[in-house]
């Protein structure tokens, strides 16, 4: 392995990854940032306008509404998914019948295309023809605007996102639990620790890295939600159920205001990166404490 010590050989091995990263991430990001500084519309030649598109977002009520909806979906989804998927992983680790089939069943929604997930849930949550209201109305409960209303839509989107993602998060937690050393658990049992104490003081601290990975993946996936919104509500009525990505799509491709749309895309990128960096910083501080 002496040849690996040569710097130019190492550079040759790293070069393909650098090229792919540049072509499919760095270049599109820089191109989008550059476009966000122009007034590009339709087929007209773009003109440099500086930060005007970003300033206009501050006066756009639909942008702030889409940001609010995204934050609601983010908080509700992560607050539910992390403990729920961890609990399911702990359950799947027990010796129960058909555990493999249950894991496959729970993971199933994660491999279904989001557009199909949204289509399925339309027939459940639609206020007029949805299954949920048809079950509630005979019980004397009036029709509820699960989707398309003023208040419940982001929570319904969070519900659908959680249903589609819980198996994926559970699988990562389950893999992490399989890597825990048995001797540590046995030692804690010999010391008289109960199962609840083992969970709080042994399992959770040792799973901190996995919890961080799952949380970051969930956050980034929430910032990419588009198909669910498109199928459930189309962003309506009057953009009340838009998320940042769905509103970016409307501004860019429906309104053909490409510069303004790229400004929203840059905001989404920055928010996602900042959220992940803040969580990593807090996790690193917790490990060093």
Segment 133-187, tens digit of pLDDT: 999 888 888 888 999 877 899 999 999 999 999 999 999 999 999 888 888 878 8
In eight-state DSSP terms, residue 144 is -
122 vs 60: CA distance, rounded Å: 29
Cα atoms found within 13 Å of the Cα of residue 141, Cβ hemisphere only:
9
- The pLDDT value recorded for residue 99 is 75
* Predicted confidence band of residue 94 (pLDDT cuts 50, 70, 90): confident
63: Cβ contacts below 8 Å, ≥ 6 apart: 57, 247, 264
Lowest mean pLDDT among 7-11, 212-216, 236-240: 7-11
Strand partners, 48: 38
Instruction: Kindly report, residue by residue over 228-255, the tens digit of the pLDDT.
Output: 999 999 888 888 899 999 999 999 999 9
Cα–Cα dist 85/139, whole Å: 32
Q: What percent of the chain has pLDDT over 70?
A: 97
Q: What's the fold here for domain 51-288?
A: MetI-like fold (1.10.3720)
Element (H, E) at 176: helix 153-178
Q: What is the pLDDT of residue 74?
A: 94
Length of the chain: 289
Residue 212 confidence (pLDDT): 86
Categorize the per-residue pLDDT at 289 as very low, low, confident or very high, splitting at 50, 70 and 90: low
Terminal-residue alpha carbon distance, the chain:
39
Per-residue pLDDT band at 4 (split at 50, 70, 90): low
Q: Give residue 121's pLDDT.
A: 95
Most distant pair of Cα atoms in the chain: their distance: 78
Residue 191 vs residues 185, 187, 195, 209: alpha-carbon distances, Å: 10, 6, 12, 25
Within 8 A by CB and 6+ apart from 50, the residues are 37
């Amino acid at each position: 392995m002496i040849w690996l010590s040569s710097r130019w050989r190492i550079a040759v091995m790293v070069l393909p990854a650098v090229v792919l990263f540049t072509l499919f991430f760095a270049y599109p990001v820089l191109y989008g940032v550059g476009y966000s500084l122009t007034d590009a519309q339709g087929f007209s030649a773009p003109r440099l306008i500086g930060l005007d598109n970003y300033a206009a977002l501050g006066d756009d009520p639909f942008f702030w509404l889409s940001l609010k909806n995204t934050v609601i979906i983010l908080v509700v989804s992560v607050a539910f998914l992390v403990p729920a998927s961890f609990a399911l992983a702990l359950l799947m680790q027990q010796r129960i019948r058909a555990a493999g089939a249950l894991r496959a069943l729970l993971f199933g929604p994660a491999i279904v295309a989001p557009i199909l997930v949204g289509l399925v849930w339309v027939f459940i949550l639609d206020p007029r023809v949805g299954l949920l209201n048809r079950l509630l109305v005979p019980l004397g409960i009036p029709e509820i605007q699960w989707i398309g209303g003023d208040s419940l839509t982001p929570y319904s989107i969070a519900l659908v996102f959680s249903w589609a993602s819980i198996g994926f998060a559970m699988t990562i937690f389950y893999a992490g639990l399989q890597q825990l050393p048995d001797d540590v658990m046995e030692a804690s049992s010999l010391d008289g620790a109960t199962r609840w104490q083992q969970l709080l003081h042994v399992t959770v601290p040792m799973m901190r890295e996995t919890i961080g990975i799952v949380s970051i993946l969930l956050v980034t996936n929430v910032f990419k939600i588009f198909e669910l919104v498109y199928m459930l509500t189309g962003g309506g009525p009057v953009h009340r159920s838009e998320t940042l990505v769905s509103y970016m799509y409307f501004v860019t491709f429906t309104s053909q205001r490409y510069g303004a749309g790229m400004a929203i895309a840059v905001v989404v990128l920055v928010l996602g990166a900042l959220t992940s960096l803040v969580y990593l910083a807090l996790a690193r501080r917790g490990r060093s404490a």
